[in-house]
Amino acid sequence: MLKNNFIQDIYDKYQNYLNKEIKICGWVSNIRDLGGVKFVLLRDRTGIMQLVFKKGITPEEELIKAKDLVKESVICIEGILTEGKSSLKYEVQVKKLDILNKPYEPIPLDPDTSTEAQINVRLDYRWLDVRNRKISSIFVFESWVAKNFRDYLTDNGFVEIFTPKIVSTGTEGGAEVFPVIYFGKEAYLAQSPQFYKQLAVISGLERVFEIGPVFRAEASHTVRHLAEFHGLDFEMGYINSVNDVMDMVEGFFRRMAEKAKEDKYIKQVREFFNLDVSIPEKIPRITIREAYKILEKYDKHLPYGSDLDTESERILGEYAKKEYNSDFVFVTEYPWKVRPFYTMRIENDDQWTYGFDLLFRGLEVATGSQREHRYDMLIKNLKDKGLDEKKFKFYLDFFKDGTPPHGGVGLGLERIVKQFLNLDNVREARFLPRDTERITP
């Protein structure tokens, strides 16, 4: 039996359905039996509909079936949509009931109150947790973010690519990789599609993007880290400077901020979350050296030339909101010692780079740079990082046959969702998160 309508569709187009027969399916959320009449709340991810089982309207055999209903039964009903007599605007006078399935034992987590449970309990019973409409709306929103990323870049002349996730070496040249056995050879799960994005630009595709899984073997126990997440990556050739990359990133967030106010696709998300985001005419861009000085004013002292820590990002987020009324701020010209070898260094001051981060409400959600496209400089960079160029031969070979200036960025999908919706923990924005403790469900 196929589901004909989502509940929200019926509410949106009630004039087409009122006093007519409809068919809807979902989970039983609540049951009230008043003797001669039984009220059942039916839930799907788009809404709640009240069902009325009543003698004289519902056939006797269907009333008998309704006695077997329990919470979280999976049902389909057919009946007449009428105006509601309770707080709900509409209800269905049930004519036919099909019970497709019922719980085999008491449910361990009530979907209607799952948001009150501890995050680890919710993740243990994720199939019940996501039946909660507020929780399911997070993943509707996440789908919408990915769709906007794809549409935005396609509109700007980018080609979607699909790169390997089993690689021969770590992108960052570090130890934070998951080793795998690949036909008896040493291999790793990809930390990033970085090398392959660059190969695609060099191959003549010029502008490319990918939405795909990223693996980081970081032993982090924070509300902002995952061992597996989805990256939104793009790379663009023939740039004039790293500002071209930041302009593209800024355009993506500006587009989302505008569409979030009215896009019908995320109407149900707006029921539960405030999607207002503050973006000024131009997102502020400050160098990390300027950031050190700003932090000093907030009694936050970082060693000159160091990376930003969590507290520093939070402070800079507050600063951007106060000074620019912006939920976003770019921090640019990161120190060479904290950036990957493929980052282009500033020519007259090579301790700094054309690398940047984008902070969204005080959390880094994007990391990018202009890449080093000159073969001889890549060799130097590897040596300066203490990396063995032989291990990167396959990558270096890309740059021997004519390489345009290029740059790109990697964004964390779950972090974007977390910050947009003001979630407490990035695990809430991952359907089935993986971290240092969790590998099931």
Q: Which domain holds residue 216?
A: 128-429
- Whether residues 266 and 347 fall in one domain: yes
Q: Has residue 144 got a pLDDT over 50? A: yes
Strands of 59-134, DSSP E = 74-83, 90-101
Of the candidate ranges 55-64, 114-123, 166-175, 373-382, the one whose mean pLDDT is the lowest: 166-175
Q: Tokens for 266, please give them.
A: 């995320």
In this structure, is residue 106 part of a structural domain?
no
Distance between CA atoms of residues 427 and 425, nearest Å: 5
- Whether residues 78 and 139 fall in one domain: no
- Whether residues 81 and 161 fall in one domain: no
Distance between CA atoms of residues 12 and 431, nearest Å: 28
In this structure, is residue 319 part of a structural domain?
yes
In this structure, is residue 439 part of a structural domain?
no
In this structure, is residue 108 part of a structural domain?
no
**Structural domain count of the chain:** 2
- Whether residues 375 and 307 fall in one domain: yes
In this structure, is residue 236 part of a structural domain?
yes
Q: Which residue has the higher pLDDT, 169 or 10?
A: 10
Q: Reply yes or no: is the peptide bond before residue 433 cis, omega within 30 of 0.
A: no
What is the rounded average pLDDT of the residues 112-128? 97
In this structure, is residue 36 part of a structural domain?
yes
- Whether residues 176 and 80 fall in one domain: no
pLDDT tens digit sequence for 226-246: 999 999 999 999 999 999 999
Strand order in the sheet with 285-287: 159-160, 207-215, 228-237, 406-412, 363-370, 355-360, 328-332, 285-287
Task: Give Cα separations from 117 to 110, 272, 288, 437 (angstroms).
Answer: 9, 18, 40, 19
- Helical pair 413-421 and 133-155, crossing angle rounded to 10 deg: 120
**Which of 344, 340, 403 is closest to 200 using CA atoms?**
403
In this structure, is residue 119 part of a structural domain?
no
- Containing H/E element for 242? helix 242-259
- Whether residues 309 and 201 fall in one domain: yes
- Whether residues 291 and 195 fall in one domain: yes
Q: Has residue 2 got a pLDDT over 60? A: no
Confidence band for 173, pLDDT divided at 50, 70 and 90? low
Domain end, chosen from 65, 83, 101, is at 101
Confidence band for 171, pLDDT divided at 50, 70 and 90? low
- Whether residues 77 and 183 fall in one domain: no
Confidence band for 221, pLDDT divided at 50, 70 and 90? confident
Q: Tokens for 334, please give them.
A: 């990161």
φ/ψ bin of 326: left (φ > 0), alpha (ψ from -120 to 50), beta (otherwise) = beta
pLDDT tens digit sequence for 191-217: 999 999 999 999 999 999 999 999 999
What is the rounded average pLDDT of the residues 14-33? 95
Q: Has residue 79 got a pLDDT over 70? A: yes
- Whether residues 174 and 264 fall in one domain: yes
pLDDT tens digit sequence for 317-344: 999 999 999 999 999 999 999 999 999 9
- Whether residues 92 and 179 fall in one domain: no
pLDDT tens digit sequence for 382-437: 999 999 999 899 999 999 999 999 999 999 999 999 999 999 999 999 999 999 99
Q: At 85, which CATH number? A: 2.40.50.140
Distance between CA atoms of residues 241 and 65, nearest Å: 69
Task: Give Cα separations from 202 to 148, 226, 237, 249 (angstroms).
Answer: 26, 31, 8, 21
- Whether residues 360 and 261 fall in one domain: yes
What is the per-residue pLDDT for 312? 98
Q: Has residue 1 got a pLDDT over 50? A: no
pLDDT tens digit sequence for 148-160: 999 999 999 999 9
Q: At 357, which CATH number? A: 3.30.930.10
Q: How many residues does the chain have?
A: 441
For residue 99, the cross-strand partners are 75
In this structure, is residue 2 part of a structural domain?
no
What is the rounded average pLDDT of the residues 73-88? 91
Q: What's the distance, Cα to Cα, between the start and end of the chain in Å?
A: 29
